[in-house]
Structure 1
């Protein structure tokens, strides 16, 4: 799949389309099955409380992956992702109700890194319940 965004068309400060992800307990169970991470803090409220958490929390890698989707959707190709780093600041708390948690992700093309390689650094902001959940989230993508 080729990138739908062309390097020549990107300027520093270009905002990527914002996305909101709905995370429910059933989402976490499916992710646990796919990843093999069955830690009970991701599905058992009693266990999460005993661990000092406010409720069940989303897997860190799930949170990280959802934020990266904003970048790969914009680039048009998951293979365009050259590198990606984040720091976990707060967990995404997932209540046991019809809504679950909402994670909002915004991203901006911060700078062009290499004209020959057509790489761009993208800065990402992910929030849930009004709190930043990822810090220093940055991706480098290679565009068409």
Structure 2
């Protein structure tokens, strides 16, 4: 976790440093256990391909959580997140190898509001595709 970001130090256009999150099949199995979402498209290549997917895909909420980590780590407090929403635009395809996939996440402050609130527009990409669309978070800064 980073030091707490102060509202007075942030301007519209402030960029959050890009982070890359690895995603391996083991991560998906662990997430399935924690979330209770054992849909086989998230761990069984045969089933994923039988329904038209290119391979096993990461859970949407897993992808969303990784993108949210960029914002909460930047703010320095997970409790600073006031509102968070995304649209899923493409799956994160996770091959069965030692590398897996990566989710590259970046953000930019697009608005400052009263009450020490800022709006962060988030971009998340994997395998050259934008995997989250219309993604934004409202954060209360110190």
TM range (shorter): over 0.9
Specify the alignment match of 1:140 in structure 2: 138
Aligned length: 142
Q: Could you tell me how far apart the structure 2 residues matched to 1:44 and 1:135 are?
A: 26
Specify the alignment match of 2:127 in structure 1: 129
For 1:71-86, list aligned pairs within 5 A.
71-86=71-86
| 3-state DSSP of counterpart to 1:121 | strand
| 3-state DSSP of counterpart to 2:17 | coil
Encode CA deviations 1:36-56: one digit per residue, 9 max, x unaligned: 000000000000001110000
Structure 2 length-normalised TM: 0.97
| 3-state DSSP of counterpart to 1:18 | strand
Specify the alignment match of 1:99 in structure 2: 99
User: Moved runs in structure 1, 4+ residues, more than 2 A?
Assistant: none
Unaligned ranges ≥5, structure 2: none
Structure 1 length-normalised TM: 0.96
Q: Could you tell me how far apart the structure 2 residues matched to 1:141 and 1:18 are?
A: 18
Q: Could you tell me how far apart the structure 2 residues matched to 1:10 and 1:63 are?
A: 26
